């Protein structure tokens, strides 16, 4: 027995197809913007001095947003090269967080996203949480590697190393406490000031 479709059921199918098609349109937009930017067509063919001027004047779009569209497109290309016939990000919001990672990490992150969403209900928040975990793990690896190199420095004294480890522990504690005891911006400003001080010439100190 065939199910008889009502006008409403036919209409909802049409509307959802429209939504799906427009969700995928970011890829076509990103590819077009990438070619215009990389081939400098905005300048040679349209006479704009910069890609930023072109985006703003032609599409009322900021350069940063345009570059995010392009970066998300590159994520899709990377995942399609790795996965054939497997679900890929359906929107720019899903792809955007992955652009923070290296190509190999993007593949790793997306595989984890698929593993933890067997129902296929992927959200940008889920993708962002996986990206943060992988990016954080990479930072930890770099810190551990740097620590090993630092420990081999014959000039480095135990007191200095111990002080730095206490500072890192304090930052980790503030992070674990969701920045309630020290705001992230305050910590970043402090670290920036330390770096600027270290980079000053000795005769300027």
pLDDT of residue 2: 47
pLDDT of residue 1: 44
* Cα 122 to Cα 127: distance, rounded to the nearest angstrom: 8
Tokens of 49: 């001095």
* Cα 203 to Cα 115: distance, rounded to the nearest angstrom: 56
Whether the Cβ atoms of residue 69 and residue 33 lie closer than 8 Å to each other:
yes
pLDDT of residue 140: 59
* Cα 171 to Cα 135: distance, rounded to the nearest angstrom: 17
At 123-143, the pLDDT tens digits run 999 999 898 888 776 665 666
Task: List the Cα angle 152/154/160 in 5-degree steps.
Answer: 85
pLDDT of residue 152: 67
At 129-180, the pLDDT tens digits run 898 888 776 665 666 666 666 666 666 667 777 787 788 888 888 887 888 8
pLDDT of residue 149: 65
pLDDT of residue 132: 85
DSSP structure class, residue 39: T
pLDDT of residue 23: 55
pLDDT at 78 over 90: yes
At 5-60, the pLDDT tens digits run 677 777 767 776 776 666 567 888 888 998 999 998 988 888 889 999 999 998 88
Tokens of 92: 């720019």
Whether the Cβ atoms of residue 160 and residue 176 lie closer than 8 Å to each other:
no
pLDDT at 203 over 60: no
Q: Tell me the mean pLDDT in the region 62-70.
A: 90
pLDDT of residue 176: 78
How buried is 159 (Cβ within 10 angstroms: 0-12 exposed, 13-18 middle, 19+ buried)? exposed
Q: How far is CA 70 from CA 54, 92, 95, 140, 162, in A?
A: 15, 10, 11, 29, 44
Contacts of 87 (CB under 8 A, 6+ apart): 114, 120, 122
Tokens of 82: 């790795």
pLDDT at 4 over 70: no
Query: Mean pLDDT in the chain?
Result: 81
pLDDT of residue 98: 93
Compute how many other C-beta atoms are within 10 angstroms of the C-beta atom of residue 51.
19
Contacts of 124 (CB under 8 A, 6+ apart): 91, 93, 94, 96, 97
Contacts of 201 (CB under 8 A, 6+ apart): none
């Amino acid at each position: 027995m065939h199910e008889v479709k009502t006008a409403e059921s036919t209409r909802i199918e049409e509307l959802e197809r429209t939504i799906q098609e427009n969700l995928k349109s970011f890829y076509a937009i990103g590819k077009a913007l990438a070619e215009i930017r990389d081939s400098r067509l905005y300048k040679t063919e349209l006479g704009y001095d910069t890609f930023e001027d072109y985006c703003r004047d032609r599409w009322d779009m900021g350069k940063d947003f345009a570059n995010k569209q392009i970066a998300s497109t590159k994520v899709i290309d990377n995942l399609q090269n790795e996965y054939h016939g497997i679900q890929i990000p359906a929107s720019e919001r899903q792809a955007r967080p992955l652009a923070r990672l290296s190509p190999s990490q993007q593949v790793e992150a997306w595989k984890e996203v698929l593993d933890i969403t067997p129902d296929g209900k992927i959200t940008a928040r889920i993708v962002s949480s996986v990206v943060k975990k992988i990016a954080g793990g990479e930072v930890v690896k770099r810190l551990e590697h740097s620590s090993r190199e630092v420990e081999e420095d014959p000039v480095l004294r135990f007191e200095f190393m111990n002080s730095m480890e206490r500072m890192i522990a304090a930052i980790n504690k503030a992070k674990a406490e969701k920045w309630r005891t020290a705001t992230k911006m305050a910590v970043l400003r402090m670290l920036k000031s330390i770096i600027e001080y270290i980079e000053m010439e000795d005769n300027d100190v």
